[in-house]
Each structure stands twice: as structure tokens, then as C-alpha cells.
Structure 1
């Protein structure tokens, strides 16, 4: 007969729960103790009710998956729901538990606002202490790194239940736990408010850019310039894109390209290589010299040509700034400016403006892959001021948009810094550095003994 296991004494359980000094990640206040996560939370691995039983699904009992944890502190909605039958065959996770993704996106946490269940990619921590204190620590970078260090060395990183139970947790006294939560939520609320305002600013950049371009091509931006230079408002004309080009607007080869490596071939551009106002040369292809000779006789791109994407990514233009030899595919159209009436950079700006994009959009054809026909490109109407005013418009657009980009970068940096500040607040909170700890309070060791005795 096998020997019956003897129940551990409270002192033995206490020794198992405490983290040895050499394994403690960092120092905490004297009345805190480092404990194993499994001592202050029950860890439960989720499971998926059998899909062979469709009656398990379609009710209103939340069945949480890793993507649902993106809701963070307010995890409520689930991507799938179980019926009463499905609920009955599942392990129910009480509300106020913390669900932690332990396969794939390891460390992503959600605080469950209602009871539910989870799939097997999630380990839930059912708290035996202040539930939000537990949640916020599980959101710290220290805990996430602890989990990652325990992940199994497989194709997909996995942290099982027992490994998560062994993670270290800095346990404060019970009253301190509540003060930590209140201080964290106070500070995070202020940061969220600041983030919301910054996000509104960030979201408005596209609107302000469109407003700048609208003013530029309706004459409002250079109204003062015309007054100062004695230029009449009547000097503006309306022309088609074909009217302002020195040659017939045409596209690249319709032939299927024969590619080769860069050492033997000639540069070959298509719509994918055109970004806003620039040609991206990073991932271009190369065609065989024989095909190049044939194509170049028909169409030889040159400096100041405007290349317009007409298939796939439509309505995006870039200007040729190099005298390098290259050929283009059918997905690009060439607009060669008649420099006696239009400044090449003005043509580039207006083609990339909402004014032209809206006209392009009206003529898109094709299912799946949008396409612009040359005949429609040729008939797009643009405003045409005098050459000097075109130069001034380009200068003002560049100046104003450069300021906008600078402000946008500053806003993005501020948004990123808010996320870093949140991580810093959580890190400091669980080091006792938020000014909430009271050294006179009884040691958390007494709390740990009470938790162990009750379980």
C-alpha cells in the first residue's frame, strides 16, 4: 500500500510560499515579502469546449481568448460566448480575476469585469489578495520578463500553470495594497487624460494637411503674395493634366517583364515603388538588357517627370530626381511637365493633393485591384497660377507641412513617453516608491500566514 501523503504544516507551507533571498528580483520595503504567485492566487488554465457539441456555443456566457485581453483593465466583452450547456462543462473564472496570455503573446493581461471562462492559451489568476493589486503587478515589465524566462523552448512560446505559479510576487501589507491601487489609478487616469488630448492632436494632422493643400490650390494661401506682387486673382486658369504636359501622358510597358539580378539588369519600377512624392529604390526589380533597349526607345523617363501610380495603389505620385537610367511598368503613368507653363514640383504637389485624388477616385475601375485609365488621368482638371506663384505655393506647402511633421513627431514622442511613464509607475509601485508605504504597519508575512491558513 502506498504511503498516504502527510499534510504540510503551516510553517512548511510558509517556507514553500516564500521566495529565497537569492531569487528575489529586487529589494522591497522591510514589511513586504517576496512570495510565489501560487500562494496568493489560484492559477487556472483554460480550455475550449468541444466543437463537436455546437449546443455549447451561442449563449451569453463569455469565452475569452487572447485578443480579448487587449481591453486590459476593463475586460468585459468576449469574442465568443457559450450557452448554459457550454458553461456547465467549463471551469468558471470569477470576476475580478486576471487573465494572462501564456501562449504566443505572453504576458498580455486582462482584468475580468464579469465571470467567464477562457481558452487554453490563457492562465487565469484568481486572487486571494486585493484583486487590482494583483492585476497591476501582473502588468509590470518585471512579471512579463519573469514569464518569458520560463517559456518552454518550442516553436510557440508556452508558460504552463506550474511555472506561472512559481513566479515571484512582491506582497505588501493588505492596507498598502489598497493604497497602491488608488495611487496607480490616480496617476494612470491623469496620463490617460493627457494621452486622449495628444491623440486628438495626432488625429487632426491629416485634417490640417488637407486644409493646407485646399488653401494652396484655391489661391487662399498666396492671397497676400498676389497683393504684394501686383498679381491679379484672375491670373489663375484651369487646365487638364494633359494640357500642362509636354508629351502625351502614357504608361509603361504592358509586356510581362523578364527579370534578372541587379548586376546584369536595368532598374525597373512599378506602382509599389512610389511613395508620397518619392521613389523608393530599396526593393526595386531589374529587367534583362534586351528588354530595356526595347522599352527605352519607346519611353525614357527623365529628371522632373512625375510618375503616377495607376494600378493597385492609385493616385500616388513621385518625381524623378535622378538621371539614372530605368524603365517602368504599365502600373505607372508618366507626366512630363511643360516647364514653360508649370513648375514640376507644383505639378507633383497638385497631383498628390485631395483635389486630384478625388477626381481619380471617381474614375477607378476594376474589381479587387483598382485601376486608372490614361484617358481619365488626362482629363483631370487642375488650377494653374503663374509660374512665380507656383514656386511660392510649393515653398509655402513645404514650409507648413514641415512644421506639421515636426509637431506630429513631437506628439508621437509624447504619446510613446506616456506609455513608458505608465510602465515606470507600475515598476515604482511594486518597489514601494510611490510614497504610499507605512513602515509601521504589520509585516505582510502575517497576511501571507492568514491566506495560507484559509486555503
Structure 2
């Protein structure tokens, strides 16, 4: 059972519900098989949830397509006024925006046309903040959907109109600051990567240890094949989801280190004996995308493991520090070598062991290799601590945003003004206005040649009587729509039929000629 979120609100506020403050309407989609339902120029702007990049979007003017007049009339889409709050109720739930102009949506929305000058921005902020609660109300098997009836009953804390504006202004100011903070903090990850590459570039040009080396010259380049002990391809045997020994694959090399997540395993003793890794083995990714081929990490003996066929194991020789080699292959000069040495296939690139042996790099005496590794790792440790703090700060900014919204909807973000008109009076005006609309006599529709009334019930009754599939033409006739009926009656019945299909009350199936495949019409039956 989902507990409705209600808390104490300040004097002058009122708890109400979405159905009290807004008219909630859904949307619709015309047949995609008929190109005339859509318009490249003119028509009605029409959006789907995919058109909203996130529920943080403030305003949206149009989607990817416009509905033609025919497409609008043949669907259950509704034209919404500028300022309507668009809320996605499925796939996914929680994207929220405000219409910048008259617009229509597909059926993935529950849209709010607000009464009494209630702030669309305030409403959007509240729906955004309520996303976890709204998701908890949803149901479905293929995907979760929030029904219109449940959405209308969602509790809504309503401040006075003047306070709504003060809250929105404060939220906008605070959100602008947190957005700047998020942007700057997000840049740190890129800056850290650039810094590491700069350190590696200095390390393998001799600049990093110039003063340590004193009068000694930086050595000439050597071939990896001349200084490494061996090169070997990994296991080609099929791995398993469970087993005694993990099999390291190309995805387990991340940012110059081994990532022990997303492992596969083997129990094959021969494979384990042949491809067992030993501390100090350097793993080179020989097959991957052009940008990732050649990434390298060193095995430190964290746990027993073997390596898969898309990796090459390099065993360093007596004059080569395996850690130094790992950093060399991940340095800008190492990445440049991989880019130039790769052979490009249809979707992946490859670097053979014979080409890998041609990698040329400076290999000073072991003592200096050790010192270079020490300085690299010291510099990396410092910048990684900075990156970790930045990541933590980014998480805190997100929590701060949540805390600010919580204060806003508890009446704690801005001070109350005793001169503000209480929300209760606003609600009373809305009730009176709606009561007047309901009591106002409706204009009679002009008479048509064929009277169609209570179409949904008529359709259901006709299909129940037929007990099975009924040709659409026969169904229309039983509902009073025959040759000579007005176009308006035909469109009304057609729209009602589509609504029943969307409500999963009826099934509509296309009938085709078994020999030619040509469409002959449609048939309908009650959903079983």
C-alpha cells in the first residue's frame, strides 16, 4: 500500500489534489501507416516522451513531427494551450516540461491545464520532486504506467499565488547556482584525464626525472620485442557465468587498471594450466574499437585468473619494469602507436603480437624506471583524491537540490506574507468557476443524417452479440453508421473505436487477401 505524502504546511496553504487544480488530459497517436496524418510544414506541434531529453526541461515548443488536421482528428490527441504542464506517465515516468505554445502529445502523457492562474513552474517543480512517489503509483507488465485516475488523486500542497511566484524565483536562482557547480565539478573528470596524460608524456620523454638523472643521457628508443621475454594470446575456449577461475576479458581493462566486475569463469584444468596469470604479467587489448584497442593493464595477483583470446600477455624481461611498460603503452606515445599499428575491420580493430613487438620506447636503467613509476603513481594518487572529492561534491549537490525542493514544498524556502490571499480562497474561486461551467447549458450539436449516441456502449454491445470477429463495416452499420452518414459521425465512431483499443477493451486486426496480400479492411472483436 502506498502512503500518500502529506505533511504540515504553513497557514495560508491548503492541501488539495491535482484534479482540483487542473484539467488532466492525455494524448493520442494517429496511424503511422498513413503519411497524411503528419505534416512537415504547419500543423499541430506533437511531442512524445522521447522528445523530452529529461524531466528538467523547462519549456518545449515542438517535437520531431507535427500532426496534420487529418491526423489530429483521427487520434485522441488534444490541443493543449501554451503554459500547459506536460508530464510523461510512461516510458519513462517523470519527464516534465511546460508548453511554450499550443501543442499536442501522444498517449505517454498526462497533461495539466491549470486553473486560477496557478503557477506552471511551481507545478513542474513539484511533479519533478515527486517522481519517486509517482513511480510507486504506477503499474504494468511491459512497462510501468501511471493511470489518469491515480494521477488526478495525487495530493498537492498549494501555497498562495504570490508565494508560488516567490518560491519559483528562489528555486530558479538556487538551481542556476547548483547547475554551475555541477558543470564545473563534471569538468574535473576530463581535467584529471588530461593531467594524467600530461604526466605520462613527461615521463616517457625523460622530462619527469631530468633533475634526478643529473648528467646521464635519456636513452635511445628500443623495440618492445627486444626487451620483453614473451608474448602470448589468451584462451579461445567458451567461458561460463560461474566457475572456479575468472577469465579476464577486454572489458576488464579500464583506465589502465584491471576491473574485477562483470567476470566470466572456467573450470577447465587444461585452460587454467596453460593461461594462468602471474603477478607482473602485462595484458594488452589486441582487439577492440579503434579508440580502445591497445588499452593495457598489469595483473598484480589480486586473485587467480586466466586471460581471454582478445588479450596478449606480455612478460617483461630482466631489464624492464612491468609497471613501467604498462604506463608506456597507456601514454600518449603508446596510444599513438596503437592507432597507427591497428588493422581496421568492419566494426573492430586489431593489433597482432608481431606488430606489438615493434612498439618503440625509451627504457632507461631499472633504477630510473622504478623512480619514474614512483613519481607517476604519486602524481596519480594526488589527482585521484581530488577527483574522488569532486565526485562526492557532485553527489552532495544533487542531495542539496532535493533538500531545497523539500523545503520549498514544506513552506520553509521563502517567508510567508500575511497579506497574501490564502490558497483556500483561490480554491473556492476555482470550485465556483468550474461549478458554473458544469451548470451552463451545453450547445446542441447540429442534426446529422445519422444519429450516433453512446457509441462505446453500442460498440461493446454489438461485439458481444456477434461473439467473435466482426468486420469493421458491419460493426459501423450496427452502430448506425452506414453509407450516407456524415463524415463527422464516421470520425466520431472511428475515434471511439481507437479509444477502446487503447483501453484494451477491443482488438482490431487488419484483413488481407491471402493470395495478393492486399489490404481488404479491418475486423474487430472484444478482447478476451
Class of the TM-score when normalised by the shorter of the 2 chains: 0.7 to 0.9
- State the Cα distance separating 1:111 from its structure 2 match: 2.5
| Corresponding residue for residue 7 of structure 1 | none
- State the Cα distance separating 1:379 from its structure 2 match: 0.7
Give the one of 52, 56, 65 matched to 1:81: 65
Give the one of 113, 120, 131 matched to 2:107: 120
Aligned partners of 2:47 and 2:62 also within 8 Å: yes
- State the Cα distance separating 1:236 from its structure 2 match: 2.1
| Corresponding residue for residue 434 of structure 1 | 413
For 1:285-304, list aligned pairs within 5 A: 285-290=265-270, 296=274, 301-304=277-280
- State the Cα distance separating 1:79 from its structure 2 match: 4.9
Aligned partners of 2:91 and 2:143 also within 8 Å: yes
The gaps in structure 2 that reach 5 residues or longer are: 435-528
Aligned partners of 1:95 and 1:114 also within 8 Å: yes
Give the one of 291, 309, 317 matched to 1:338: 317
| Corresponding residue for residue 135 of structure 1 | 124
**CA RMSD, 1 decimal:** 2.6
Find the aligned partners of 1:180 and 1:448 in 2 and give their Cα distance. Answer: 19
- State the Cα distance separating 1:81 from its structure 2 match: 0.9
Give the one of 13, 16, 28 matched to 1:35: 16
- State the Cα distance separating 1:87 from its structure 2 match: 6.3
1:68 aligns with 2:51: yes
1:104 aligns with 2:91: yes
Find the aligned partners of 1:184 and 1:81 in 2 and give their Cα distance. Answer: 32
Give the one of 182, 185, 207 matched to 2:172: 185
| Corresponding residue for residue 26 of structure 1 | 7
For 1:387-426, list aligned pairs within 5 A: 387-426=366-405
**Structure having greater relative contact order (Cα 8 Å, sep ≥ 6):** 1
Aligned partners of 2:209 and 2:372 also within 8 Å: yes
Aligned partners of 1:266 and 1:289 also within 8 Å: no
- State the Cα distance separating 1:154 from its structure 2 match: 3.9
Aligned length: 419
- State the Cα distance separating 1:445 from its structure 2 match: 0.7
CA shift digits 1:185-224 (9 cap, x unpaired): 1111122222222233333222222111111111222223
Aligned partners of 1:267 and 1:287 also within 8 Å: no
Find the aligned partners of 2:18 and 2:163 in 1 and give their Cα distance. Answer: 18
CA shift digits 1:246-271 (9 cap, x unpaired): 23x33235xx52657966x6654443
Give the one of 208, 215, 218 matched to 2:202: 215
Aligned partners of 2:241 and 2:264 also within 8 Å: no
1:246 aligns with 2:243: no
Give the one of 283, 293, 297 matched to 1:307: 283
The gaps in structure 1 that reach 5 residues or longer are: 1-21
Find the aligned partners of 1:288 and 1:203 in 2 and give their Cα distance. Answer: 42
Aligned partners of 1:258 and 1:288 also within 8 Å: no
CA shift digits 1:129-151 (9 cap, x unpaired): 122111111111xx324423422
- State the Cα distance separating 1:244 from its structure 2 match: 1.7
For 1:264-275, list aligned pairs within 5 A: 268-275=247-254
Find the aligned partners of 1:208 and 1:123 in 2 and give their Cα distance. Answer: 48
Query: Given the two structures, how large is their TM-score scaled by the length of structure 1?
Result: 0.84
| Corresponding residue for residue 18 of structure 1 | none
| Corresponding residue for residue 354 of structure 1 | 332
| Corresponding residue for residue 450 of structure 1 | 429
Query: Given the two structures, how large is their TM-score scaled by the length of structure 2?
Result: 0.73
- State the Cα distance separating 1:363 from its structure 2 match: 2.3
- Residue 326 to residue 163, structure 1, CA distance change in 2 (3 Å): closer
Q: Between 92-101 and 391-400, report the one with greater CA deviation.
A: 92-101
| Corresponding residue for residue 16 of structure 1 | none
Q: Between 443-452 and 310-319, report the one with greater CA deviation.
A: 310-319
Give the one of 270, 284, 293 matched to 2:264: 284
- Matched position secondary structure for 2:181: helix
- Residue 291 to residue 389, structure 1, CA distance change in 2 (3 Å): closer
| Corresponding residue for residue 10 of structure 1 | none
Aligned partners of 1:68 and 1:77 also within 8 Å: no
Find the aligned partners of 1:427 and 1:243 in 2 and give their Cα distance. Answer: 65
Find the aligned partners of 1:104 and 1:387 in 2 and give their Cα distance. Answer: 58
Q: Between 130-139 and 55-64, report the one with greater CA deviation.
A: 55-64
Find the aligned partners of 2:307 and 2:57 in 1 and give their Cα distance. Answer: 52
- Matched position secondary structure for 2:349: coil
CA shift digits 1:269-304 (9 cap, x unpaired): 4434434444445513215224556xx3xx764332
- Residue 418 to residue 327, structure 1, CA distance change in 2 (3 Å): closer
Q: Between 76-85 and 327-336, report the one with greater CA deviation.
A: 76-85
